[in-house]
């Protein structure tokens, strides 16, 4: 859904927020793998 938000966005601030969100999601995935 972060990808959809970024790809459908016209506003650059929304696009930037979507990219940051994707980075945070990836960081969360890495943290979860470290816990497992």
pLDDT in tens, 11-28: 888 888 888 999 999 999
Domain that holds residue 27: 2-35
Identify the band that residue 1 occupies on the pLDDT scale cut at 50, 70 and 90. Answer: confident
In this structure, the number of other CB atoms found within 10 A of the CB of residue 18 comes to 19
Instruction: Please tell me the predicted confidence (pLDDT) of residue 32.
Output: 96
Q: CA-CA distance, 29 to 27, in Å (whole number)?
A: 5
Q: CA-CA distance, 6 to 9, in Å (whole number)?
A: 5
User: Which pTM value belongs to this model?
Assistant: 0.69
Structural domain count, the chain:
1
Inter-CA distances, 23 with 3, 17, 29, Å: 11, 10, 10
Element (H, E) at 26: helix 12-35
Instruction: Please tell me the predicted confidence (pLDDT) of residue 23.
Output: 95
Q: CA-CA distance, 36 to 26, in Å (whole number)?
A: 16
Instruction: Please tell me the predicted confidence (pLDDT) of residue 7.
Output: 78
């Amino acid at each position: 859904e972060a990808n959809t938000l970024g790809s459908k966005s016209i506003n650059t601030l929304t696009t930037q927020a979507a990219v940051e969100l994707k980075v945070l999601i990836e960081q969360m995935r890495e943290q979860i793998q470290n816990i497992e």
